[in-house]
Structure 1
Amino acid sequence: MKRIVLSQPVHAEVLARLQAVAEVVMNLGPDPWTADVLAEHLRTADGWMAFMTDRIDTEVLARAPRLRAVACALKGYDNFDLAACARAGVTVSFVPDLLTEPTAELALGLAIAAGRHILDGDRRVRAGYGGWRPSLYGTGLNGSTVAVVGLGAVGRAIVDRLQGFGCARVLGVDPMQIDARTEPVDLATAFTLARHVLLAVPLTEQSFHLVDDELLAHVHQGQILVNVGRGSVVDEHAVLRALNAGRLGAYAADVYEMEDWNLPDRPDSIPEGLINHPRTTFTPHLGSAVREVRLAIEMRAADNLLAALAGRSIDNPAYVAVA
C-alpha cells in the first residue's frame, strides 16, 4: 500500500478519500512539523500533500527516497524547487484556479478596511461608543483612480469586482497581458496616479521587491497600497519608511516576506514598526480561507496526488516526472 503524508490537517472527506487507497499520516496542526519531524515522515512516503508552510529543495528530497508525487494544496509554488523535483523524478501538481475568486474578494475587503479606517473604528466602538463624531474620514473606491498590478487570474477577478464600485479610472499594469476594462500604464505611472494600488503579482526574480524606496518616493499622496500576491513583491521596510514619511496613506496585506521560504535571506518576522503602525491592516494569509473553497482545494490536490501515484495524468501539473 502507498504511504501519503499530509503536512497540515485536511477536511474529513479528503482524509477518507486518501485513506481508502493509502496509508495516511497527517499533522493534526495547526503548527507545521519541524524539519526533522517532516523528514522522518517523508523518509517512507510515496506521496505528499504540501501546504503554504512547506518548501521543497534538494535537501528535503534527499531525505525522501521513495517520494514520487507532491500535490500542493495552493496556487503559487515559488517555495518549491521544481528543478530539484525534476532531477529526483518527483511529479508536482498545484491548484491554480480555486483560490482566484476569494483572493480577489479579500483584496477589495482590505482596500475598504484600510481606506475607511475599519480597524480603528472597531476599536473605538469597543472602547465605549458615545455616538457619531466627526472623525475617521477616509478614502473610498467610488470616484477614485484604482490600479491593479498583475492581470493574471486574480488581477482580472479584482477588475471584475471593481466594475460595481464607480471608480473614476481603473489602471492596469502588466507587461504581458491587457484587460480591455483597464487603462494600460507602466508601474511608475500607476503609483503616481492611483489612490488605491492592488498588487496581484506572483513572486519571480523580476518581481522581487518590485515595490521599493524608489517607486514609493513618487506615490500619489495618501495612497492605499494592498498586497494579496506574494510578500516579497514588496520591500516591507521601504513601505514602513513611506508610511512614516506620510507619503503612503495606508498599507494592507495578506502576504508577507517571512512566508517566502525559498528566499535565502527571508526575514523571520514582519518588521515590528510595520506591525505597530496605525495605518496598517493585516490578515493571516486568508486569501483562500473560505470553508467551501478550502475543501475543494484539498479535494483537487488529493485527486492529483492519487492520479500521479497511479501513473495517470493530472489536471494541474507544475512538473510531471518522466519515468
Structure 2
Amino acid sequence: MDSYACEPLVVVTHWVHPEVIEALERFCKCAAPTERDVLPRAEVRTRLGGAAGVVVCMADHVDEEFLDAGPGLRIVSATLKGYDNIDVDACTRRGIWVTILPDHLTAPAAELTMALILGLLRRVGEGDGHVRGGRYAGWRPRLYGATLQDSTVGVIGMGKVGRALAARLKGFGTRILYSDTAPLPPGTESDLGARRVELAELLAASDIVVPLVPLTPSTRGLLDAAALARMPAGAYLVNVGRGSVVDELAVARALDSGRLAGYAADVFAMEDWALPDRPREIPRALLDHPRTLFTPHLGTAVDGVRRKMSLAAVRQVREALAGRRPEYAINEVQA
C-alpha cells in the first residue's frame, strides 16, 4: 500500500459499488453519493475544493469552470471510453492527468447494439405495448417486421466496438459493409466477412446503418437529412455512439416520410454536455413515433462490467497520486 503524510481526497461524482469505495479508502479519503444517482454539478464543484482526484462519468462536463473548482486536482479518471465531455487540453495545461477505459466497454456495447437492432427489426417495443395495453386477443397478421438474415449492415467506424458487432452479426447471415479512415488488416476483414467502402456507398447499400464514431466537429450531424436521403427507402438506423452524430429532427422527418422504417438509440444529443448549443430534451417527434426503440444509455449498464470499470478507474487514481503515470492516461503531464 502506498503511504501519504496526509490522506488525499478523491471525489466520485456518481454512485459506485461498495467494493469501489473500499478500494479508494485504502489510500485516500473518499466523497461519493450513497444513492444511485449523479451528484449535481454545483455539489461536485463544492466538493472539489480540497480534492486531489476526481472520478467522473458520462454525465459530467469537465471544462475550465469545473477545473477552477479543484485547484489541487492531479487526475481526472473517467469511467468512459469516449471523452468528448472532457477538455483534455485544459487538464494538460494544469498538469492534470486524464485517464479513460479503452477496453472495458466493447462487449457490452456490441451486445446492446445487437439487442436494439433485433428489437427494432422485429418491432419488439410495439409488440410489448400491444400486449400490455390489453389489445392482444391472439395472433393476427400485424406488426410484420424485418430480419437480419440476408440483410446488409453498414457500420460507420470499425474500431473495437465495430469489430465486436461485426463478429456477432456474422452468425446471423448478414453482409457487412464498413466505412473507416483506415482499412482493417486483410485477415481481419476476411474473418469478419466485412468489406470496406466509401460512406456514400455504405449509405446507399445498407438495410441497417450503425454509426460507431466518436463525437468530433467532423462527425457532428454526420447523418443529416442529406445522408438519410442516400439510404434505401425502408432502411433502419441504430445509434449507440453519441447522440449528436445524427440529426434527430431529420431522423423524425425521415420516419414520417417512410424513408426510415425505424430508429433505435441508446444515446441522445441532449446528453452531449460539451456542446453549448445542444438540445435540452429529446425531440417529441421522436418520442411519439411508433417506429422507434430507445434505451437510457445502457451501453455499459452491466453490473459486473461497471464494477470492473470503476475499480480500473480507481487504479488510475492510485497511480497518479503515487507520482506515477497512470496506465490509461491519454495526455502527458509532469508526474
Same fold (TM over 0.5): yes
SS of residue in 2 equivalent to 1:16: helix
**d(CA) in 1 for partners of 2:150 and 2:205?**
13
In the other structure, the counterpart of 1:302 is: 314
In the other structure, the counterpart of 2:128 is: 122
SS of residue in 2 equivalent to 1:220: coil
2:211–2:238 Cα contact (<8 Å) kept: yes
The change in CA–CA distance for 1:25 and 1:156 in structure 2 (over 3 A counts) is same
Corresponding position: 1:150 with 2:150: no
**d(CA) in 2 for partners of 1:271 and 1:142?**
32
Which string of whole-angstrom CA distances, capped at 9 and with x for unpartnered residues, describes residues 142-187 of structure 1? 11111111100100110010110011x2111112233513111111
**d(CA) in 2 for partners of 1:254 and 1:157?**
17
**d(CA) in 2 for partners of 1:311 and 1:110?**
43
Which string of whole-angstrom CA distances, capped at 9 and with x for unpartnered residues, describes residues 107-127 of structure 1? 111011111100111112223
SS of residue in 2 equivalent to 1:170: strand
Which string of whole-angstrom CA distances, capped at 9 and with x for unpartnered residues, describes residues 220-239 of structure 1? 11111001111111111111
In the other structure, the counterpart of 2:15 is: 9
In the other structure, the counterpart of 2:267 is: 255
**d(CA) in 2 for partners of 1:29 and 1:171?**
43
Aligned to 1:183, which of 184, 189, 195? 195
**d(CA) in 2 for partners of 1:54 and 1:124?**
37
Shift of 1:191: 1.5
TM-score by length of 1: 0.97
**d(CA) in 2 for partners of 1:218 and 1:69?**
44
**d(CA) in 1 for partners of 2:139 and 2:283?**
34
Query: Which residue identity lines up with residue 227 of structure 2 in the other structure?
Result: L
In the other structure, the counterpart of 2:141 is: 134
In the other structure, the counterpart of 1:54 is: 60
SS of residue in 1 equivalent to 2:150: coil
1:103–1:228 Cα contact (<8 Å) kept: yes
**d(CA) in 2 for partners of 1:95 and 1:279?**
34
Query: Which residue identity lines up with residue 224 of structure 1 in the other structure?
Result: Y
**Which runs of structure 2 are paired with 1:280-291 in the superposition (5 Å)?**
280-291=292-303
Which string of whole-angstrom CA distances, capped at 9 and with x for unpartnered residues, describes residues 116-139 of structure 1? 100111112223332211111111
SS of residue in 2 equivalent to 1:46: strand
SS of residue in 1 equivalent to 2:120: helix
Corresponding position: 1:316 with 2:322: no
Aligned to 1:166, which of 173, 195, 204? 173
TM-score by length of 2: 0.93
1:152–1:177 Cα contact (<8 Å) kept: no
Which string of whole-angstrom CA distances, capped at 9 and with x for unpartnered residues, describes residues 44-85 of structure 1? 100100011011111111121111111101111110000000
Shift of 1:3: 0.3
1:5–1:26 Cα contact (<8 Å) kept: yes
The change in CA–CA distance for 1:154 and 1:47 in structure 2 (over 3 A counts) is same
Shift of 1:313: 2.8
In the other structure, the counterpart of 2:3 is: none
**d(CA) in 1 for partners of 2:250 and 2:199?**
16
**d(CA) in 1 for partners of 2:51 and 2:93?**
18
**d(CA) in 1 for partners of 2:12 and 2:98?**
15
Shift of 1:31: 3.7
2:10–2:28 Cα contact (<8 Å) kept: yes
In the other structure, the counterpart of 1:65 is: 71
2:41–2:60 Cα contact (<8 Å) kept: no
In the other structure, the counterpart of 1:203 is: 215
Query: Which residue identity lines up with residue 35 of structure 1 in the other structure?
Result: R
The farther-off stretch of 175-184 and 292-301 is: 175-184
Cα root mean square deviation, aligned: 1.2
Please list every run of 5 or more consecutive structure 2 residues that lacks an aligned counterpart in the other structure.
1-6
Query: Which residue identity lines up with residue 320 of structure 1 in the other structure?
Result: E
SS of residue in 2 equivalent to 1:217: helix
Please list every run of 5 or more consecutive structure 1 residues that lacks an aligned counterpart in the other structure.
none
**d(CA) in 1 for partners of 2:323 and 2:182?**
35
What percent of counterpart residues are identical?
45
In the other structure, the counterpart of 1:213 is: 225
Query: Which residue identity lines up with residue 207 of structure 1 in the other structure?
Result: T
SS of residue in 2 equivalent to 1:226: strand
